Amino acid sequence: MTQIEPSKAVNCRPVKVLLIDDQPIIAESVKLMLKDEKDIEFAYCSDPTQAIKVANEFSPTVILQDLVMPEIDGMTLVRYFRVNSKTKEVPLIVLSSKEEPVVKAEAFACGANDYLVKLPDKVEMIARVRYHSQGYIRLLERNEAFDKLAKSRAALQAELGEAAEYVRSLLPPPEEDPITVKWEFLPSQELGGDAFGYHWLDDDNFAVYLLDVCGHGVGAALLSISVINVLRTYALGQTDYLSPKSVLSALNAAFPMEKNNQMFFTMWYAVYNKESRCLTYASGGHPPALLIDSSEKIHQLNTDGFLIGGIDDAVFNEQSCTVGEGGHLLVYSDGVYEIQKKDGSRTTLDDFFQIVSSHQGGKSALLDKIITEARKINGSGPFIDDFSIVHIIF
């Protein structure tokens, strides 16, 4: 097996040795030791008062420094190197004629990484130079990797922010008459796949829908936007948009997960007829909508359908109920009730039900109450998932 000599080792960065010593003979000796090491660059500074300047310009991977020099104390110079921004992490080997343990201890206390009594053996010198330089080079490479990662994350966050604003721009404006609709959309830091919409299908029938794509990021947001645009533009062929189960079946056929980067979504879709006050609804893997009647009794509206895009030919069912005078409806994503607490646990759907059922401020203030309680639990930072909720007062 072929062995690679230390001098032949390949580094993406060169080993750069800077010697600070007022004796030219020492410089010549060190230079001679290193002359056959083709990957090692050598620089020499005989004036300790210029050491910091030379180091800043040369960018050494290791510094060799004497302790006894004119004009400046060697220990003081070690301290200067350690407070200088460009050299504070560069390995520093004291190269001194002093062998006293107290002197060595003081050098280490000042910030030296190693101590050699000059002049050491050539093999030992080269080994220590390489050892300290390689550690420093790895530190530089790690820091550069962290910097690149930070820049990449910043760019990603900017993209997620733009995507979140785009999703928000597509959400419908609040309604006032004859149906009052208010909503809140709080995108998570990584942007989930929530989106919702509502519009009049004709003079009598009002559709409302909310979906949640699996996963996070721009891809999930783009899929949710695509679904919303399909519903808005009636682009599902001959689908009966007055029939929630037909809409979910058509979406399941139009958005199979194998054609959408293995992403699926949950959805709740309903149609309200203002003349009959009949609400017909269907759900695909989505949390139940909550219908609250005039006596403040809560009814869970769910048809236990399969998630959208998961399997071909999934069967969806629909149910109907009558909305009495004073009734109102909450449609939401799981981010509304799965909120992370300070201890790392998460709230549950039952916790959300408790917030809704305990509200005493009237239906017009219910949405504000839910948002306030959610922020109390979550704190001031972003939610772990998109927080999307629609409140409809009939």
Distance CA 19, CA 371 (A): 64
Domain annotation covers residue 155: no
For residue 5, name the pLDDT band (cuts at 50, 70, 90): very low
Residues 6+ apart with CB under 8 A from 180: 174, 392, 393
**pLDDT at residue 304 tops 60:** yes
Mean pLDDT check: name the lowest of 124-128, 225-229, 359-363, 376-380.
Answer: 359-363
Reported as type and span, the H/E element at residue 384 is none
Domain annotation covers residue 362: yes
pLDDT tens per residue across span 327-351: 999 999 999 999 999 888 999 999 9
Highest mean pLDDT among 43-47, 167-171, 172-176: 43-47
Residue 177 shares a structural domain with residue 306: yes
Extract the tokens encoding 317.
Answer: 């069912």
Residue 132 shares a structural domain with residue 206: no
Amino acid letter, residue 389: I
Which domain CATH number covers 100? 3.40.50.2300
- Alpha-carbon 221 to chain mean position: 15
| 3 state DSSP class of 248 | helix
Q: How many domains does the chain fold into?
A: 2
Q: With pLDDT > 90 as the criterion, what percentage of the chain qualifies?
A: 73
Residue 51 shares a structural domain with residue 183: no
Mean pLDDT of 252-278: 96
Residue 233 shares a structural domain with residue 278: yes
Residue with tokens 């189960």: 245
Q: With pLDDT > 70 as the criterion, what percentage of the chain qualifies?
A: 96
Residue 76 shares a structural domain with residue 185: no
Return the closest-CA partner of residue 283 out of 295, 300, 296. Answer: 300
**pLDDT at residue 7 tops 70:** no
Helix, strand, coil content of the chain in percent (nearest 5): 40, 25, 40
Domain that holds residue 127: 6-143
Residue 128 shares a structural domain with residue 257: no
Residue 186 shares a structural domain with residue 72: no
Residue 139 shares a structural domain with residue 207: no
Residues 6+ apart with CB under 8 A from 381: 189
Residue 310 shares a structural domain with residue 190: yes
Distance CA 382, CA 318 (A): 35
Which domain CATH number covers 360? 3.60.40.10
Residue 117 shares a structural domain with residue 188: no
Domain annotation covers residue 162: no
pTM of the model: 0.67
Q: What's the pLDDT score for residue 165?
A: 82
φ and ψ of 93, to 5 deg: -105, 120
Residue 182 shares a structural domain with residue 226: yes
Domain annotation covers residue 177: yes
Domain annotation covers residue 158: no
Extract the tokens encoding 175.
Answer: 């309604």
Domain annotation covers residue 46: yes
Query: Is residue 256 classed exposed, middle or buried when 0-12, 13-18 and 19+ CB atoms within 10 A define those classes?
Result: middle
Q: What's the pLDDT score for residue 156?
A: 61
Residue 51 shares a structural domain with residue 116: yes
Domain annotation covers residue 191: yes
Domain annotation covers residue 163: no
